[in-house]
Chain A
Amino acid sequence: MKSESSRERIVRRAALELRDGFYVNLGIGMPTLVANYIPRGMTVILQSENGLLGIGPFPEVGEEDPDLINAGKQTITEIPGAAYFHSADSFAMIRGGHVDLTVLGGMEVDQEGNLANWMVPGKMVKGMGGAMDLVAGARRVVVMMTHVTKEGEPKILQKCRLPLTGARVVHRIISDLAVMDVTPAGLVLAEIAPGVTVEQVRQATEAELKVDPETLKTVMV
Chain B
Amino acid sequence: MNKVISGAREAVQGIPDGATILMGGFGLCGIPENLIAALRDKGTKHLIVASNNAGVDDFGIGILLRSRQVKKMISTYVGENDTFERLCLSGELEVELVPQGTFAERLRAGGSGIPAFYTPTGVGTLVATGKEVREFDRRLYLLEKALRGDFAFVKAWRGDRLGNLVYRKTARNFNPLMAAAADTTIAEVEQLVEPGSLDPDTVITPGIYVDAIFQGTNYEKRIEQRTHRPKGGAGA
A-side interface residues toward B, CB under 8 Å?
32-33, 35-36, 48-52, 55-61, 64-76, 78, 84-88, 90-91, 94-95, 114, 119, 124-133, 136-137, 163-168
Contacts and interface: CB of A to CB of B under 8 A. Distances in A.
A126 B78 contact: yes
B221 A66 contact: yes
Interface of B: 26-30, 52, 75-80, 85, 88-89, 97, 99-105, 107-108, 119-127, 157, 167-177, 204, 221-236
A66 B222 contact: yes
Given A87-B177, A163-B125, 18 more contacts: A36-B236, A67-B169, A69-B223, A70-B170, A74-B224, A76-B227, A87-B52, A88-B177, A95-B101, A127-B76, A129-B77, A130-B101, A131-B99, A132-B99, A132-B122, A136-B119, A137-B101, A164-B125
A127 B121 contact: no
6 contacts: A52-B170, A87-B174, A88-B108, A90-B101, A133-B102, A166-B125
A136 B123 contact: yes
A35 B105 CA distance: 29
Contact of A67 (B170, B177, B225, B230): B170
B231 A128 contact: no
Contacts of A61: 228, 231
Contact of B26 (A69, A74, A126, A128): A69
Contacts of B104: 86-88, 90-91
Contacts of B226: 64, 74-75
B182 to A, nearest CB: 15
A95 B172 contact: no
Nearest to B232: A60
B228 A59 contact: yes
Given A61-B228, A74-B225, A127 B79 contact: yes
B223 A66 contact: yes
A85 B121 contact: no
3 tightest A-B contacts by CB? A167-B124, A91-B101, A133-B101
A58 B229 contact: yes
Given A95-B120, A127-B77, A166-B125, A57 B173 contact: no
Most buried by B among A65, A70, A136, A166: A136
Nearest to A128: B99
B76 A130 contact: yes
A50 B125 contact: no
A58 B100 contact: no
A163 B123 CA distance: 12
B125 A127 contact: no
A60 B78 CA distance: 28
Contacts of A166: 123-125
Contacts of B222: 66
A133 B172 contact: no
B121 A137 contact: yes
A74 B101 CA distance: 20
Contacts of A64: 223, 226, 228
B125 A165 contact: yes
A124 B100 contact: no
A181 to B, nearest CB: 21
Contacts of A88: 104-105, 107-108, 177
B172 A84 contact: yes
B145 to A, nearest CB: 16
B159 to A, nearest CB: 15
A129 B38 CA distance: 28
Nearest to B56: A73
A103 B68 CA distance: 38
